[in-house]
Amino acid sequence: NAGVMQNPRHLVRRRGQEARLRCSPMKGHSHVYWYRQLPEEGLKFMVYLQKENIIDESGMPKERFSAEFPKEGPSILRIQQVVRGDSAAYFCASSPLPPKETQYFGPGTRLLVL
């Protein structure tokens, strides 16, 4: 958890609303990964981004989910029209340079959809 910031830590949304999760990588890191952990399950890869580029989004649901990592500012994971099944912990990780394998994680955002 060395320096990766995520906010908010907890987010409550009603069905149909939008959720925006933010991630600021460690200083000097330009690669960001988003993971989702559903209750009673392991970490599932969602998307890998570099600045202004989506490198691998093979784990992203086809609809309602999007991610960006602009040149300036944090990475954003956006979930439109949330449903109860989106309730999970969303973790962001960063790394300095692929193919460096070690990723450093933030504390996560816990999304609850009512």
Partner 1 sequence: DQQVKQNSPSLSVQEGRISILNCDYTNSMFDYFLWYKKYPAEGPTFLISISSIKDKNEDGRFTVFLNKSAKHLSLHIVPSQPGDSAVYFCAASAKAGNNRKLIWGLGTSLAVNP
Residue ranges in contact with partner 1 by CB under 8 A: 1, 4, 6, 33, 35, 41-45, 48, 55-56, 91, 93, 98-108, 110
Least Å distance, CB 41 to partner 1, is 7
- Cβ proximity to partner 1, 83 vs 97, nearer residue: 97
- Cβ proximity to partner 1, 19 vs 47, nearer residue: 47
- Cβ proximity to partner 1, 64 vs 110, nearer residue: 110
End-to-end CA distance of the chain: 29
Of 21, 19, 20, 8, the C-alpha closest to 82 is: 19
- Cβ proximity to partner 1, 57 vs 68, nearer residue: 57
85 contacts: CB under 8 Å, gap ≥ 6: 113
Least Å distance, CB 45 to partner 1, is 7
Least Å distance, CB 12 to partner 1, is 16
Of 59, 61, 57, 58, the C-alpha closest to 69 is: 57
Least Å distance, CB 81 to partner 1, is 27
Residues of 53-64 as b/e, b for ≥16 C-beta within 10 angstroms?
Answer: eeeebeebeeee
